[in-house]
Structure 1
Amino acid sequence: MPILNGGMRMNTQPKEDLKRSLGFWSAISIVVGTIIGSGIFFKQGSVLDSAGTSTLAIAAWVFGGVITLTGGLTVAEIGSQMPYTGGLYVYIENIYGRLLGFLAGWMQVIVYGPAIIASVAGFMSILMANFFGLGTEWRIPLAVITVLAIGVMNLLENKVGAIFAIITTAGKMIPIAAIIIFGLFWGNQHAFGQTVTEVQHATGGFGVAVLATLFGYDGWILIANLGGEMKNPQKLLPKAIVLGITAVLVIYTLITIGILKFLPANQIHRLGENATAYLAVKAFGNIGGKLLSAGIIISMMGTLNGKMITFPRIVYAMARRGDLPFSRFLSYVTPKGKSPVVATLFIVALATVMMFFFDPDHLSDLCVFTVYCFYLLAFFGIFILRHQNQGPRPFSTPLYPLVPLVAIAGGVFVLISEILNDPAGVVLFIGIVIVGLPILYAVKRMDQHRMK
């Protein structure tokens, strides 16, 4: 059992079969590309409705970004000491033990990963249907086709997905810059101080507004799942997480101000998920609006690609440990490209099923709640690691212990807000996570019988 500096014991990790080929720009592109997707474009209406005023809506996006950044700074220290494929699954296991580690992995591969992919694809299909002039009945087929196409692309070696991440991240900056510049310089509304008078009362309050923004910020931790495929991950992983989240926080705040300067609050409320598409046409005409919508669709494809790169790596890491049914198949990688093809197809299949049974907006809130249950464990984990490891660290969280405490407070805030807002959905998703325990027990019993 290897020992890190200062005597902290780590569980033995499986030998990595994946290529260490991801550099700085690939890592940054995956972080930014995975975060910036559907949330900032489709959550403006729901954030505003919950907040009640434009000022509180802007504050919600900033507050959500601060929570995310403190969480990223906290996890960056943990990740720099555990640069293995698997991310949160590996961190929780090494800090708290096998059982909680398994639940963290099970949560990501059965609930969170497929749900977030299905949610982003669902939001993107709304824009695609509008772009091609199709009816609402085409939304699910468009979402399924897109997920399948990106999944097939990720059956190739990881460089292909990384290159696509760089291209789509660069491409998504065009619609983002257009919305920010046009809104800030040509908008004639007051971004601050507007009230949504058409809503009798804020639908959920500031807490639910922040929860909605966290879907827009979500995805930052997924780069940790590629720790086993990075060059010098001890230094690169913290840098990618911190710089990526900081850039997104600034971009999101400017986009929100730009949209609120161009569209009145009541109109954003009426338009809901179509507010950004309406702004594109209103600001740039039919052709310009089409081009801007195409840029946003490309942006969301980049987000899907980032998630499709990372979640199969969790399946792979768990399968290598024999934690899942059919682990021998799920851990298969291609001989040349070293791509976890069966794990990728598994995630694609689960996401496709979820598209048919859940609304994307509802899915987005529930998957954020589910993953934050385990984020909180990781945030507390930094105190455990500091106690166990007194030696030098590749990266140290600045302003310790203040930053981890803010991350913990933010996580508790998220959980309480969603429990109060949707207790039935919370019980459903927690139940799906807990179902993993008897499955783990059954898998291990089967392994013991085979060994006999």
Structure 2
Amino acid sequence: MENKPNNELKRTLGFGSAISIVVGTIIGSGIFFKQASILDSAGSSTMAILTWIVGGIITLTAGLTVAEIGAQMPYTGGLYVYIENLYGRICGFLAGWMQVIVYGPAIMAAVAGFMSIMMTNLFGIGKEWRIPIALITILAIGIMNFFENKVGAAFSVITTIGKMIPIAAIITFGIFWGHQDAFGQTVSEVNRNSGGFGVAVLATLFGYDGWILIANLGGEMKNPQKLLPKAIIVGISTVLVIYTLISIGIFRFMPADLIHRLGENTTSYLAVKAFGNIGGKLLSIGIIISMMGTLNGKMITFPRIVYAMARRGDLPFSRYLSYVTPKGKSPVIATIFLIVLAAIMMLFFDPDHLSDLCVFTVYCFYLMAFFGVFILRKKNKERPFSVPLYPIVPIIAIGGGIFVLISELFNDPSGVLLFIGIVILGLPIFYAVKRMDKKRMKP
């Protein structure tokens, strides 16, 4: 399993595949399962819809800012590569470590957990089957990604097309056949329990999560300097419009107090009520396919971060983690590694809690990347892509990132400290790996 010079990933991804991965990775469980928790935190249907718009704007400004950076660093590894080039080796390692040990496994576990809720509701089986179903799904999608990246990309295209059916159904039925007022349903109807607008926005960012993962495939895109910014901008803008319309459709069809009572089962209830038992089941299957597409997108991208770090010798057992299959050039050991970590996360955290914590953790490093655009502007006068309305857009991204961190810190300080502690734990591991490398190099 030695990392030979020709042991490289293939540049086979075009614009269509890139857009499908962005949209397919973003649209998954968040928009379908976060409506009730966002409503409870926001306090009214109007504010809940506004949080999806604000979350989308924050994400779009973040995407535009990172697109300028990514166009100048079109390599496999994404955020890990950006942070290292901007701030040095140790900061880069921590960015990669965060994604490999905390963010990646947590986000995959959260999506699989939400999907298993939908599947148990669909088949009418007990809650005790949620974790086994989630584990089997992660394993199955992981095995599919043992093959060439074209296989996973093709699955992303198929699931992205497939997920548009339930999305179009919810939007159309809710807006045109709903009898509720989407705006103006008050706090008294939902018995607001905790959080606030900031926590609600944080929850929407889980729904928008995944936009940066296409950057991890920079080394596998045919023309990353041009395709990467386009894929990020078009993908995020499309999702922002879709999410806003879905939220309006749901509030048009269901009163806020009912959404509050149903919680995570809101979408399943809506599917059956709107389209009957058979139609509801078909719609639920479409939503499950949507979440499988999201999970697949993450399964494509996160092992590339492990691969990029292992190629540098930054991880224990890098020789094995950097292995790619001779024919398909797929990082199979890295994929297995992430499946195991995601399974562990799934056993110890509930999906809703995981989703908020992993968004907080990744935004710590997003903020560093946002500031990095100012650093690169001083160094590089010519760029393949320039963020529009500079410096307003990066400043909005920075402000949004700070807003996210402060909100979650006040909402869940113990969870925040736990995840920060896991990230900091990477420092002694980094130095231990480097000491071992020096010993091996000695004659």
TM-score, normalised to structure 2's length? 0.98
Runs of 4+ in 1 over 6 A off after TM superposition: none
Amino acid at match of 1:43: K
For the 8 Å contact 1:121–1:147, the answer to whether it is kept is: yes
CA RMSD of aligned residues (A): 0.9
Pairing partner for 1:250 from 208, 233, 241: 241
Instruction: Please state whether the residue corresponding to 2:188 is helix, strand or coil.
Output: coil
Aligned pairs for 1:86-125 within 5 A: 86-125=77-116
- Structure 1 unmatched runs, 5+: 1-13
Which residue in 1 is equivalent to 2:125? 134
Q: Distance in 1 between matches of 2:258 and 2:200?
A: 18
Deviation at 1:268, TM superposition (A): 0.3
Please, which of 381, 396, 400 is the counterpart of residue 406 of structure 1?
396
Is the contact between residue 55 and residue 204 of structure 2 (CA under 8 Å) also seen in structure 1?
yes
Paired with 1:296 and 1:197, the residues of 2 have a C-alpha distance of 31
Which letter does structure 2 place at the counterpart of 1:416?
I
How far apart are 1:113 and its partner, in Å?
0.1
Please state whether the residue corresponding to 1:322 is helix, strand or coil. coil
Q: Does residue 234 of structure 1 match 2:193? A: no
Question: Given that residues 36 and 299 in structure 1 are in contact (C-alpha distance below 8 angstroms), is that contact kept between their aligned partners in structure 2?
Answer: yes
Aligned residue number for residue 160 of structure 1 = 151
Distance 1:214 1:257 in 2: 18
Distance 1:16 1:48 in 2: 49
Match of 1:345 in 2: 336
Q: What corresponds to 1:221 in structure 2?
A: 212
Post-superposition offset of 1:202: 5.0
SS in 1 for 2:385: coil
Aligned to 1:4: none
Q: Are the equivalent residues in 2 in contact too, given 1:70–1:404 (CA < 8 A)?
A: yes
Q: Deviations over 1:13-38 (max 9, x none)?
A: x9870000000110000000000000
Residues 201 and 277 of structure 1, relative CA distance in 2, 3 Å threshold = closer
Render the CA deviation track for 1:199-243: whole Å, top value 9, x for unaligned: 444521100000000000000000000000000000000000000
C-alpha separation between the residues in 2 aligned to 1:428 and 1:215? 19
Counterpart in 2 of 1:265?
A: 256
State the Cα distance separating 1:132 from its structure 2 match: 1.1
Q: What code does the residue aligned with 2:336 have? A: L
Q: Distance in 2 between matches of 1:222 and 1:253?
A: 22
Structure 2 unaligned spans of 5+: none
Query: d(CA) in 2 for partners of 1:165 and 1:16?
Result: 25
Shift of 1:146: 0.2
Pair 62,202 (structure 1): closer, same or farther in 2 beyond 3 Å: farther
Q: What is the match of residue 330 of structure 1?
A: 321
* Aligned with residue 58 of structure 2, among 44, 67, 70: 67
* TM-score (norm: length of structure 1): 0.96
CA shift for structure 1 position 196:
3.8
| Aligned residue identity for 2:217 | L
Which residue type is aligned with residue 160 of structure 1? V
Aligned to 1:10: none
- Of the three residues 274, 283, 292, the one matched with 1:301 is 292
Q: CA–CA distance in 2 between the matches of 1:359 and 1:133?
A: 20
Match of 1:282 in 2: 273
Measured in 2, the distance between the counterparts of 1:397 and 1:232 equals 19
> Is 1:196–1:266's contact at 8 Å kept on the other side of the alignment?
no
Distance 1:200 1:54 in 2: 12
Which of 352, 359, 367 pairs up with 1:368?
359
Q: Hey, what's the Cα distance between the residues in 2 that align with 1:105 and 1:111?
A: 10
Aligned length: 438
Matched, 1:434 2:424: yes
2:44 and 2:190 in contact (8 A); partners too:
no
Q: Does 1:44 align with 2:35?
A: yes
AA partner of residue 435 (structure 2): R
Which residue of the partner structure matches residue 355 of structure 1?
Answer: 346
How far apart, CA to CA, are the structure 1 residues paired with 2:53 and 2:194? 19
Task: Determine whether 1:418 maps to 2:408.
Answer: yes
